[in-house]
Structure 1
Amino acid sequence: MPLLSNLDETFSHAEDLNTIDKLMSFVDPELLQQAYDLSGVATVRRRRLPLDSVVFTIVGMSLFRNDPVWDVANKLDVSLPGKNRFVAPSAVVQARQRLGEEAVGHVFKLMAQRAFGEYAFEQWCGLNVLAVDGVMFRAQDTNENLDTFGCDRNAKGDNPYPQVRMCSLMETSSHLLLASEFDSRDVGEMSLAERLVPSVPDNSLTLFDRGYYSLGLLHLWMTKGVNTHWMLPARKDLQYTVKHQLSDHDAVVTLKTSPQARKKFSGLPETLEARLTSYEVDGKTYRVLSSMVNALQFPYDEVVDVYVQRWEIELGFREMKQTMHQAKLTLRSKKPEMVRQELWGLLLAYNLIRMMMLDAVKDMPELSPSRLSFGLCMRHIIVFFLSTIPETVTKLPVHYEYLMESLRMMRLPDKRPDRYYPRAVRKKPTKYPTKKKASQLN
């Protein structure tokens, strides 16, 4: 359902609305209340920053990366009228602590579930294509963050910055995040990926990186629901037995599970069937392993082309870290609970932008939302929130339609099929001048 499908009815008779009413029109109040109930938070007395205002302030932390948190609340004008025009910095800190992390996390999860069920996405062989991958975030250098999240270690000692590991599930055609889990850096991506299993929708294909090869995890993923398939590159040392050959480059194989895996994952059988497909690109042979053993439903030509979509999740991470956070690697918050709250706010802000981009192309099947510039769309959305003053909020449907028209203009250039960037190790820069050869000195 589009974000503003009921605006005409909502604002047709509105006369006295403020900025928080404008922002609340993008989020279902019942959804927010459900998130508060699940997290066990509630506002007993009337405050200048009610829970809804705090949620939008946390979202604004990722949209206005250079501004202090208290200034974000004042910029969005989400506080209720009081003696002072502006909100004090201490009030914002107390409001964030009162809200906690779980409430923002539930808001993100509930909105992601609803968005996936209401928007139409591109499909491949009748399946929604998803991708799973991990990313690291750096937290403030405090003792609490260091004890909770841990840090990287090198030959000279510890890296002073704590690190948070995140693993996300993304719909590749729209870059919409369906679920995300994060923990300390000592918790591996495989463990975080297991926590994503309950969020896997039916009739989907999930693309994994090579490092996620675990027969226990893949079997858990495949048996979670109806037609929940997986695909990942095959390891060079993969041990298998060919069950039957589909073609010269395609076969159904049998994989043997280990006793340790069967002990860790209950219900894991001794063997699993999978499909091993090989193909050649520029003279180099690649192999992918998948659960799609039905060659009639999933033809060879289709299977060899789908895995390239896994890189879409890398673009999504870049949009969050480079565009939204403006390449500022360190998060703002100094306490672990607030760090997690800030990350949930980042994911929520990212999905809200993606949902508006989906709204912009909903009547244009020839235009994919991933072909719109995320950075330019984000700037227009921010201007929309700041320029639509409360006195004109009754005309919000008109303003929103103008925003949709402007977003559709932010198209990216067509991809060049002949452009190829092979992966390589970048040379480490040095602060010392390079010594010249003897021949150059003469």
Structure 2
Amino acid sequence: MARTKAILGTGARLADFLSASLLARVAPAEVVNAVLDAHACNSQRVRSFPAVAGTYYCMALSLYPEAAYEEVFAAVSQGLAWAAGAAEPPRVTKSSISELRSKIGAAPLQELVERCCVPLADALTHPHAFYAELRLVAIDGSSFELPDEAENAAHFGYPGSSSGHAGYPQARCMVLVECATHAILGANLGPFRSDEWALFQRLLPLLKPGMLCMADRGFNGFEHWRQAQATGAQLLWRCVGNRQLPVHRMLEDGSYLSAIHPIRLGRKKAAAQAIVVRVIEYALPGQEDSQPRYRLLTTLLDPLAAPALELAALYSQRWEIEAVFDELKTHLRQNRRVLRSKTAELVRQEFYGWVLAHYAVRWLLHQGATRHRLAHAELSFTGHVHLLRRAQPHSGAFPPSAPETPTTMVQ
């Protein structure tokens, strides 16, 4: 049976709902052009659908997962019509869109995430985003479903199931998130069975001195710790409860100093390379589903500067990253589980466009939180998604001059 082209409904155009100029505030057109030039995929002459428009188009795809490719283009191309003095943007075919997406590929979108997704909070207006002058960030991974196409299955793989494998191939991603603002600061994508640390290694350069990075139990091996600590960031990572961590010195707040060692080395060599860590053990009495004991490792060795009780309470902010995955999968994509793209390269492209669209919504929300001196949690992510959709791009998707600050909302 032939598929029905998805539209927004009678009388509604995507162009009436998407502020492409906001996407240009997050990823300025001059930066997009520079990245496209660097990857040798920019348009060399004026076209009805130039590569810079195609790049914003990749961001817009996740904002309108229910709409056809051509309808999403109608939103992004409003800026082109404005620049040309035309009443309506040019129309393009689905094949033209696919051709341009293939020409652009994934690398420019990945670089735009690296260049444009910067921390948002500052200590003056949002002190809750920091602890002891350290910016709170967290790392974690998740997976999502892809179209059941042969290339996607071959590249990303299926999760296992009792019947052989699941119905859709899946990809696995790792993200680094600013806890208070939910801004994604970095992301990487790989096959479903990718080692999470291997995915995160590309993001390690994003850890900086002045950050406190929180992570779950998967990242506390010696080499993980050594590489992350070398970035200059402070670490607060959960550790498995049965790991052998001998008490070297008890501290006055109940925590203690220990050491972690490289494996597969002789005792003397391992001792020489040992890294001193502080261990914090605590329980959460009275809370359902809590474990008998939690254990954290940290580079913050001074119990006076960072008391154990404060760090144990602080670690709960790592779970903000779960809310980020919910925003990505549920609220931004409107519960549509499967991405659109049918090839591995375009899956990667769509993923990084998805991350940039999420960052644009979070950037918009941050403006309201800053202006009204509110915590980010007091504002509605979903409300700002709707605001982004209905704001008309009066200044065009690719403004010839600096656009006005987008309207913000408080809910």
TMscore range, shorter length: 0.7 to 0.9
Distance 1:21 1:256, change over 3 A: closer
Partner of 2:103: 98
2:366 pairs with 1:363: no
Unmatched tracts of structure 2, length 5 or more: 1-18, 287-291
Paired residues of 1:255 and 1:271 also in contact (CA < 8 A) = yes
SS, match of residue 40 in structure 1? coil
SS, match of residue 281 in structure 1? coil
1:111-126 pair list within 5 angstroms = 111-113=116-118, 122-126=129-133
1:31-70 pair list within 5 angstroms = 31-70=31-70
Partner of 1:270: 273
Paired residues of 1:331 and 1:339 also in contact (CA < 8 A) = yes
Distance 1:52 1:20, change over 3 A: farther
Compute the TM-score of the two structures, normalised by the length of structure 2: 0.83
Distance 1:356 1:306, change over 3 A: same
Deviations 1:332-360 (A, max 9, x none): 00011111000010000000111111122
1:76-155 pair list within 5 angstroms = 76-78=76-78, 79-80=80-81, 85-113=90-118, 122-155=129-162
Q: Partners of 2:320 and 2:298 in 1: how far apart?
A: 19
Give how far 1:182 is off.
0.8
Unmatched tracts of structure 1, length 5 or more: 1-18, 411-442
2:166 pairs with 1:159: yes
Structure of larger gyration radius: 1
Q: Partners of 2:321 and 2:39 in 1: how far apart?
A: 29
Deviations 1:313-337 (A, max 9, x none): 0000000000111111111000111
> Which of 244, 247, 250 is the equivalent residue of 1:239?
244
SS, match of residue 281 in structure 2? strand
Paired residues of 1:170 and 1:179 also in contact (CA < 8 A) = yes
Q: Which deviates further from its counterpart, 29-38 or 59-68?
A: 29-38
> Which of 281, 284, 288 is the equivalent residue of 1:281?
284
Distance 1:162 1:118, change over 3 A: farther
Distance 1:194 1:268, change over 3 A: farther
> Which structure has the higher relative contact order (CA within 8 Å, separation 6+)?
2
Give how far 1:178 is off.
0.8
Q: Partners of 2:266 and 2:22 in 1: how far apart?
A: 52
2:323 pairs with 1:323: no
Distance 1:141 1:119, change over 3 A: farther
Give how far 1:51 is off.
1.6
Partner of 2:306: 298
Aligned amino acid, residue 277 of structure 1: I
Give how far 1:196 is off.
1.5
> Which of 211, 219, 230 is the equivalent residue of 2:218?
211
Paired residues of 2:39 and 2:108 also in contact (CA < 8 A) = yes
Deviations 1:284-341 (A, max 9, x none): 4432221211222212332121100011000000000001111111110001111100
Distance 1:315 1:93, change over 3 A: same
2:146 pairs with 1:175: no
SS, match of residue 310 in structure 2? helix
Q: Partners of 1:322 and 1:301 in 2: how far apart?
A: 34
Fraction of identical pairs, as percent? 23
Partner of 2:235: 230
2:261 pairs with 1:256: yes
Q: Partners of 2:75 and 2:40 in 1: how far apart?
A: 29
Q: Partners of 1:362 and 1:185 in 2: how far apart?
A: 38
Partner of 2:386: 379
Paired residues of 1:320 and 1:350 also in contact (CA < 8 A) = yes
Distance 1:292 1:248, change over 3 A: closer
Q: Partners of 1:214 and 1:319 in 2: how far apart?
A: 30
Give how far 1:232 is off.
2.0
Deviations 1:35-91 (A, max 9, x none): 223323221121111122111211111111100121101134345569984222222
Aligned amino acid, residue 54 of structure 1: G
Give how far 1:255 is off.
2.2
Compute the TM-score of the two structures, normalised by the length of structure 1: 0.78
Aligned amino acid, residue 342 of structure 2: K
Paired residues of 2:119 and 2:185 also in contact (CA < 8 A) = no
SS, match of residue 47 in structure 2? coil
Aligned amino acid, residue 117 of structure 2: A
SS, match of residue 235 in structure 1? coil
| Matched length | 378
Paired residues of 1:241 and 1:255 also in contact (CA < 8 A) = no
